[in-house]
Structure 1
């Protein structure tokens, strides 16, 4: 797993090449503020090789965060991450590896009959109980997450995963009440607390799309303070002295800034945005869609671009995302070595300071 000594040694090799605050605290260690995502692309051997080359290049040139999920590209993304970790000239202890469980994964390719595959592989085996499955593709039942975590460890070739996310828990709201989803999360968290105590994961969190950045009362809304409270209860139930719930992932970019602007989370000090609450609660924040899956590589609002450093539009978009208060790392999908090199170079520029970032929204 990533360690204090390993990540600091990684930083010492690379930090002089980068701008201010490129490496940021992650637990007792450090994480690069730009990470590699592995969501996009078809489940093919050619895309596997593109990702392998890109991840190796990133790891060897200053990016020590790799994010994936078991369902990405039919488990191929996890497997290529594992292969890249073996092949890159870095130590395992230097790299933060994150993955996710929640969506039913195919195995290597999309089956001809997806419904039959899900039924035979997961429902009839009771890995994903029928009454815990939503829309035929999402489950956060503790037994299912157990199974998925075991498969992820095997796919990645790791003994310990640094950060394990419950993937898009708001998907459960399609068929359940908000209170029922909180109860589900607490049960899932208790199992993850147990797996953390066993050493299979170092920490866990939730990776989301909508739930923390929409207004209170929206159909897809979940309260981040309530989720944190449920994690603390889960830690108590598992007999752990403190919760291992330490991170969230959510979209954040120039055109999706809701996590900063929407004050949807009720606290004794007043309503807070997701980023503000996470910062106050000392949660690590990993931003997804940092360049809006490539859309912001083409253009940015002129008034925003003028405030940002970078040689390319994509670099300026990345630097906006990692300028937000409390952000540990901004993830950028990269299955091209050219794109990885461009993303790494974004880190040679300083992000916006707090006052300059706030001024964007005035």
Structure 2
């Protein structure tokens, strides 16, 4: 797993030339504020090879956060991350590896009959009950997440996952009440607390798309304060002194800034945005889609661009995402080596200060 000593040594080797706050604290570790995302593209050998080379280059260039999920590219993304870790000229404990479980993954490619695959691989062995699957493809029950964690450890070829996310729990709201989703989360958090105690993971969290950035009356809303409360209860049930719940992941970018602008969560002094609540609760925030899945690569709003350092629209968009209050790391896909070079270069710009960031919303 990532360690304080190794990540700080990595930072010392790579800090020259980067912006002042490029490296940031994550627990007792320190991580790059740009991370490598592995969500997009086809499940092919050619894409695997391209991802492999790009991850190795990123790790050698000043990026020591790699984010993936078991369902990304039908488990291929996790497996290529594992191979790249072995190939890179860097110690495993200098890299923060994060992954996710919740969506039922296929194995290498989409099967001809997905329903039959899920039945044979997961239902018949008793890993998950059909009633626990929402839309036949997503589950939060402890036994399923437990199984997915084991598979992720095997795919990645590592002994400990640095942060394991429960993936898009709001998906359950299609068929279940909020209260039942919170109950399922708490039960799964208990199991993750137990796995943390045995060393299979160091931290855990929740990765979302809608849940934490929409208003409470939205059907996809989940309360971040309630999720944190359930994690603390889970730690007590598991007999741990403190919860291992450490991070949230959510989208945040120039055109999708709801995590900063929407006061959707009850704080001690009234409603708060997800970013503000997370910061005050001591949670790390890893933001996804900082380039809006490519839409900001070529152009960002002029009034925002004028306030940001960076040579290109993509660089400016990354700087904006890294400047959000409480943001630890912005995760961006970079399948090709030229993407790695460009994104590493964007880290040489300083993030915006709080006043400058706030001014972009005036």
**TM-score when normalising by structure 2:** 0.99
Q: Secondary structure at the match of 2:293?
A: helix
Q: 2: CA distance between counterparts of 1:312 and 1:298?
A: 8
Residue of structure 1 equivalent to 2:103: 103
Residue of structure 2 equivalent to 1:197: 197
Residue of structure 1 equivalent to 2:246: 246
Correspondence 1:33 to 2:33: yes
Q: Deviation at 1:161?
A: 0.3
Give the count of matched residue pairs. Answer: 362
1:21-51 CA-to-partner distances (Å, cap 9, x unmatched) read 0000000010100000000011000000010
1:53-109 CA-to-partner distances (Å, cap 9, x unmatched) read 100000000000000000000000000000000000111110000000000000011
Q: Deviation at 1:217?
A: 1.4
Summarize the alignment of residues 221-232 of structure 1 with structure 2, pairs less than 5 Å apart: 221-232=221-232
Correspondence 1:84 to 2:81: no
Q: Deviation at 1:131?
A: 1.4
Residue of structure 1 equivalent to 2:122: 122
Summarize the alignment of residues 173-192 of structure 1 with structure 2, pairs less than 5 Å apart: 173-192=173-192
Residue of structure 2 equivalent to 1:323: 323
Q: Secondary structure at the match of 2:285?
A: strand
Q: Secondary structure at the match of 1:60?
A: helix
Residue of structure 1 equivalent to 2:300: 300
Summarize the alignment of residues 271-282 of structure 1 with structure 2, pairs less than 5 Å apart: 271-282=271-282
Q: Deviation at 1:115?
A: 1.0
Unpaired runs of 5+ residues, structure 1, are none
Q: Secondary structure at the match of 1:97?
A: strand
Q: Secondary structure at the match of 2:266?
A: coil
Q: Deviation at 1:119?
A: 1.3
Summarize the alignment of residues 148-163 of structure 1 with structure 2, pairs less than 5 Å apart: 148-163=148-163
Residue of structure 2 equivalent to 1:19: 19
Q: 1: CA distance between counterparts of 2:119 and 2:244?
A: 33
Q: Secondary structure at the match of 1:57?
A: helix
Correspondence 1:285 to 2:285: yes
Residue of structure 1 equivalent to 2:45: 45
Residue of structure 2 equivalent to 1:346: 346
Q: 2: CA distance between counterparts of 1:341 and 1:34?
A: 12
Correspondence 1:61 to 2:53: no
RMSD: 0.5
Q: 2: CA distance between counterparts of 1:193 and 1:153?
A: 16
Q: Secondary structure at the match of 2:309?
A: coil
1:86-143 CA-to-partner distances (Å, cap 9, x unmatched) read 0001111100000000000000111011111111111122212111100011011100
Tell me which stretches of 4 or more aligned residues in structure 1 moved more than 2 Å: none
Q: 1: CA distance between counterparts of 2:217 and 2:196?
A: 33
Q: Deviation at 1:267?
A: 2.1
